[in-house]
């Protein structure tokens, strides 16, 4: 009995090696084979990966030298209009009074003509040398928007890392004091 079990295992290993050699262009680490799961009464097949790897992807295109803005920096920009353009990169506008560019739905926004940009977003297209400060609701999308501006030649870029959530918290604390 032991010999027949050993022969079965050797035969399965041989079949697996043949299968690995015959699949052209697919590395062995990407192959998946059915695995038996469940009890004998309800035997089901599940796919289990062989040597699977996982990777983490971030929403940063390149490393940039974008300036980081804090609450006090943005407060000065708001009090002195015209020094920099604050751009909301949220998927939904935080406030209708703020300038919003939805870069997720229109990643080529900075490549539009001045007329197309103003028609799409409701404010004039910024000059390449105008300071741009990106923010969003929680600080997730602003880096991707800033990197897109970088790829279209905008040189003076910055990120308000705390974003709108930090702004609301700081403003609320200032009103209490």
Q: Are 164 and 172 in contact (CB under 8 A)?
A: no
Q: Encode burial over 103-129: b for 16+ CB neighbours within 10 A, e otherwise.
A: beeeeebbebeeeebeeebeeebbeee
Q: pLDDT digit of tens for each residue in the chain (177 aa)?
A: 556 555 554 455 555 554 455 444 455 454 444 555 544 455 555 555 555 555 444 444 455 578 899 989 988 888 887 788 888 887 666 665 556 666 666 778 888 899 998 888 888 888 999 999 888 887 778 888 888 888 889 989 999 888 888 888 988 888 887
Domain 67-176 sits in CATH at 3.40.250.10
Q: Sketch the domain layout of the chain as residue ranges.
A: 2-49, 67-176
- Residue from 98, 114, 104, 107 nearest 160 by CA: 98
Q: pLDDT above 90 covers what percent of the chain?
A: 8
Give the pLDDT of residue 48.
53
């Amino acid at each position: 009995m032991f010999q027949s079990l050993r022969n079965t295992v050797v035969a399965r290993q041989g079949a697996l090696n043949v299968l690995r050699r015959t699949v052209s262009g697919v590395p062995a680490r990407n192959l998946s084979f059915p695995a038996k799961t469940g009890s004998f009464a309800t035997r089901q097949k599940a796919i289990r990966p062989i040597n699977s790897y996982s990777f983490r992807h971030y929403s940063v295109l390149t490393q940039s030298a974008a300036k980081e803005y804090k609450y006090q920096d943005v407060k000065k920009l708001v009090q002195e209009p015209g020094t920099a353009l604050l751009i909301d990169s949220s998927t939904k506008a935080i406030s209708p009074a703020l300038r919003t560019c939805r870069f997720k739905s229109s990643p080529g926004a900075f490549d539009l003509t001045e007329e197309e940009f103003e028609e799409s977003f409701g404010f004039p297209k910024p000059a390449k040398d105008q300071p741009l400060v990106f923010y969003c609701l929680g600080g997730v999308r602003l880096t991707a928007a800033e990197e897109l501006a970088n790829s279209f030649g905008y040189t003076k870029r910055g990120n308000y890392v705390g974003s709108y959530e930090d702004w609301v918290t700081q403003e609320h604390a200032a009103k209490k004091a």
